[in-house]
Amino acid sequence: MWFSLEIHYAVTLLLAVPAAGFLLRLFLIQHDCGHGSFFKSRRMNDWVGRCIGVLTLSPYELWRRGHATHHAGTGNLDRRGTGDVDTLTVSEYRDLGLWARLRYRLYRNPAVMFGLGPAWLFFLRYRLPLGHMREGWRPWISAMGTNGTIALLFTVLISLVGLKAFLLVQLPIVVLAASAGVWLFYVQHQFEQTYWAQSDEWTFHEAALLGSSHYVLPGILRWFTANIGMHHIHHLCSNIPLYRMPAALTAHPELVALNRLTVGQSVRSVNLALWDEADRRLVSFRVARTIEEGPQVCREGVD
């Protein structure tokens, strides 16, 4: 990509696409290390995860802790807010004031969710673990250690190629990889017939199998995403490494059709933003509005 700057920046941007794919795959190897599943040795998992975290701009221990919380409470309406996509129920959204509704709509806008949001997450939020003040010094050690190593690596690269060339090459890679990563995380849990329940009804196995999709991708995309699309199996048994997912799916063919989500279906799921507790499905703002207006329409008809 650096050499291609002498040809045309369009070539550089074209090369950024596979480069972002490789960075995404590295992040998913880091993900397996966080689950302790990529290597047999816990120490090897942790050190490889920390090193990859420098390249992915993700403090390894900080990310691992948040992701473990996500696995422990995915689909639990009473444990939202850590390591997941913020999701309100229809009734919660109905009770919000005007400005709170606008903030939630802005957050759920695709340009924010898959554009500004990933950049904010990887460039800013992971640099300071401000939401982890009560968890002691470990999140700060993880973040500051990663930040220091990133600063050292970037300083060396800038000294070799210059600031302008560094930004022209590195920024599109990180932005594309971050957006792809957030997209994957989104479609793995945000589909119409996903699973949400209150704590008294929530069970781990139901949440794992019913609240995680089987995202069916073409072979090359499945390689770049390291089989993370077989997410229902991953949530059911996270100590299976992602590179064993196809074998696990073959061994349990009854899971092939469960929560099967194609690329086209995943694109249509972007409009789903609110959980309808009555119908137990995700709905769009437009559908939620009809749910909200329904009782009033009925009362007017009676009157």
Q: Where are the domains of the chain?
A: 3-302
Among 265, 295, 269, 264, CA closest to 284? 269
Residues in the chain: 303
Summarize pLDDT for 191-245 with one digit per residue, the tens.
999 999 999 999 999 999 999 999 999 999 999 999 999 999 999 999 999 999 9
Considering only the C-alpha atoms of the chain, give the largest distance between any 2 of them, rounded to a whole number of Å: 77
Residues 6 or more apart whose CB falls under 8 angstroms from that of 232 comprise 208, 209, 210, 212, 213, 214, 255, 258, 259
283: tokens are 């709905």
* Residue 117 near residue 101 (C-beta atoms within 8 A): no
Indicate the pLDDT class of residue 267, thresholds 50, 70 and 90. Answer: very high
pTM over 0.85: yes
Work out the mean pLDDT of the chain and round it to a whole number: 91
Geometric angle at alpha carbon 117, from 148 and 264, rounded to 5°: 125
pLDDT at residue 274 is higher than 70: yes
First to last CA, the chain: 69
User: Per residue in 12-60, pLDDT tens?
Assistant: 999 999 999 999 999 999 999 999 999 999 999 999 999 999 999 999 9
Residue 292, pLDDT score = 63
